[in-house]
Structure 1
């Protein structure tokens, strides 16, 4: 079953841009940026498996996620620029490493091809603990979630995946919890992606370390690195205009 997608723009002079969200995210998180970038190219946002409006599956490995993205790209011309954030960045890297002919340019937002130690299982526990029977409106859910999650921006992000009317999460929490070791990990891949690759990080984030660069360059020999001042892991939400400018600089447009 194909992923749920949203299409912005119709300009076919340049390769389409596929935007791949992170864990607990959805295509709607990227709607504003996608719409702005669609002035020069078609932009495709996706709900990844087990997220949003896309189908639920019993697995959530990066090879599976990369195959899902392959199907989207093949349905939209067979080659695309690919931008992935966090979990989506790992999926985009695996796609580029295993099926490089599908990827024109690669943008990896605030993630490295490494195993991380910070599980996000506590957020799953908080979402599961939310008594949806008490939720009449989103502010009710926010107040209840605040008992487990102090940071308002994190609650606001998670609540984008709450269907208040249906009183259900648009997230397959059981599978995401079971697959968390894979999500924070990275598969053992020996291939290379020799196309242009931008590793764009938040200057205040610790997800991409200087020590990761040799590994990144081994897998992506043409990788370049940039940081957005004042941005953390959610760099696209915290500094959207700077993020957009970095993308436009890296993704050239046709002169005609």
Structure 2
């Protein structure tokens, strides 16, 4: 979220979603709940208007926030995700099962631990940069390796995560959808629903990027975002 103040200043907030990173764990993992988390954060910080950017699950959270509370969102950026059912549940379920099954001996050096986890994930997660993305969640705690995402909560709410809440009233503000040209997550079949919910949407391709756009084409992503932002 990029806060906007009445004095024309700006800053960047990068909150971890619940059950991710350093944020608290919770058995509840829905987009409505994650949108409320952002609303509570903005309220606590006294931010009344912001530009919201999210990738994948974060993009669906950003869209939910904009549709629930359009008064809080000046502009919206969704990176490689549509406001629709994302994919077949089996693919994501297999990734979670693979992460749960990773076994690393205590006391192993971090580089060796990552390599071992990478080898164990390889059979299920065959795309190398996706494995590296998942491995960023491998955390050492007092010599033991654990996942810093709450796999149980995510697994339990997987159907909610790959889906999207039902909304009838559109978000009226400027919206940018950035699509990895090599990714299937924003399809032309999604355009009618994108236009229904986000009538001011612009859809742009990031050439050569897969789903993890910020890893594949970081500079191109930043340039597209900056070009969409209004001058401070």
Return the TM-score normalized by structure 1: 0.81
Aligned with 2:63 (options 93, 101, 112): 93
> Who is 1:154 aligned against?
130
Which has the larger displacement, 115-124 or 95-104? 115-124
Gaps of 5+ in 1: 1-6, 16-40
The C-alpha deviation readout for 1:126-169, integer Å capped at 9, x for no partner, is: 11101133671223322333344333212211111111244211
Alpha-carbon contact 1:105-1:196 (below 8 Å) kept: yes
Aligned with 2:146 (options 157, 168, 173): 168
The C-alpha deviation readout for 1:209-239, integer Å capped at 9, x for no partner, is: 1121121111111111111111111112111
Aligned with 1:249 (options 212, 222, 227): 227
> Who is 2:33 aligned against?
64
> Who is 1:142 aligned against?
118
Gaps of 5+ in 2: none
Taking the aligned partners of 2:6 and 2:71, their CA distance within structure 1 comes to 19
Return the TM-score normalized by structure 2: 0.88
Structure 1: 4+ residue segments shifted above 6 A = 7-12
**Secondary structure of 1:55 counterpart:** coil
Alpha-carbon contact 1:14-1:253 (below 8 Å) kept: no
1:193 aligns with 2:162: no
Cα deviation for residue 48 of structure 1 reads 0.3
Alpha-carbon contact 1:62-1:183 (below 8 Å) kept: yes
Aligned pairs (5 A) from 1:11-22: 14=8
The C-alpha deviation readout for 1:26-72, integer Å capped at 9, x for no partner, is: xxxxxxxxxxxxxxx31111110011111111111110011011112
1:43 aligns with 2:45: no
